[in-house]
Amino acid sequence: MISNSTLVSDFPPLPAYSLRPLPRLVSLISDEHLLLVLPTTVYWIVGLFFHWISTNGYWAQYAIHTPAEFLKRNRVSPADAVKNVLTQQLLQIGFGAFFSLGSEDPLFGKEEYDIAKWARSIRLAQRILPGLLSVMGINSGALAERIAPSHPMLAGALAGGYYPALTQTVSSGAGMRMVAPAFAHWELSLAAAIYYYGVPALRFGVAMVWNDSWQYFWHRFFHQNKWFYNHVHKFHHRVYVPYCFAALYNHPVETVIVDVIGASLGFMLSGLTTRQAMWFLVLSQLKSLDDHCGYALPFDPFRYVTALDTHFHDVHHQNWGMKTNFAQVYFRFWDDVLNTAWKGETDEKYERGRAAAQRLVDMSREPDSSKHNGSIEADDGRNLKRQQVDKE
């Protein structure tokens, strides 16, 4: 027999839920494995696109460096850069696969329950409204009574989250039908917005702040410690003229410390889900590629979101700016706070670098060019003393 009863509770009951495996984004590969290969795939698609742009001379008006600088200043060939980057990516994928051993497939089915929990928190937060308004000299109870006929939901919120007209009938495990409080539509809508947008945004924000902080202080340490610079970070600075697919040209030790450990800790601290971590890594790859692409594009979307753009990081790759602009990925906050951002002019320095590189190219075309086979650092003694910088 089914009987009726009234559930004695100020809060609406939480719905039941049943967990089941989350369908894969790509049927042939699990989300865990897609997390490992998607950022690498995006890296090479974008990297090769910019290589095609550079090879064909497109967007030359936005290029920070000239072909002569690319030819004479870099200390590593594109082929060696590709080999190194592939090694770093295999290292990242290997560590990621190891960390994912034994992990279970993601589940879903709890969404309505979690939204209801947020709605309960919203209902509970309304309990403090009468007290806050009384401090301001407002009688929330009297105000709620006056506006109840025309604005019942607002009146319920002012009364401390009491909505006597909002009820629902629920079934208990014993087969009894009970009348219970119900959530207001606005409470569920706000709870859903928090669940689907607010919580992921907060997780992304925490991951971004952690990632930027981790990379800034390690990056700065690599430059301040002579041993680490000469034996580890100097690898990355063999690329004086950055180009897209050499963005991850690093020493394996730096890859493990900065990328593998840093990202893993960031995911744990932020609580990113597998899919959220996937898109976070893709976004991070796109930003790193943008920083190293070598083009100050006016239509670059990152320029309008963060002050850390391609030109900012390119300054750090020049030997006159190598002790500044340590910030990486998203924000330049730490450079500004700790006074490590470049503050001088750059146009004249860039122009001297372009002119010196062009002189070396012109000299190499002369009949007796063997004695001119030097580098731009040797050619322009005013500001490009590479050996001194490498020892710092």
Does residue 247 contact residue 284 with C-beta atoms inside 8 Å?
A: no
Q: Each residue of 166-205: pLDDT tens digit?
A: 989 887 666 678 888 999 999 999 999 999 999 999 999 9
CB atoms within 10 A of CB 14: 14
Low-confidence ranges of the chain (pLDDT < 70): 1-9, 172-175, 366-392
3-state secondary structure of 53: helix
What is the per-residue pLDDT across 251-294, written as a single tens digit (0 to 9) for each?
999 999 999 999 999 999 999 999 999 999 999 999 999 999 99
How far apart CA 218 and CA 228 sit, in angstroms, is: 10
Residue 288 CA, chain-centre distance (Å), reads: 10
Model pTM?
Answer: 0.85
Written as six digits, the tokens of 271 are 């609580």
Q: Which alpha helices (H) appear in the chain, and where do they start and end? A: 31-55, 67-73, 78-99, 111-125, 129-135, 140-147, 152-158, 185-193, 199-224, 226-231, 252-254, 262-270, 274-292, 310-317, 333-337, 347-364, 376-379, 386-391
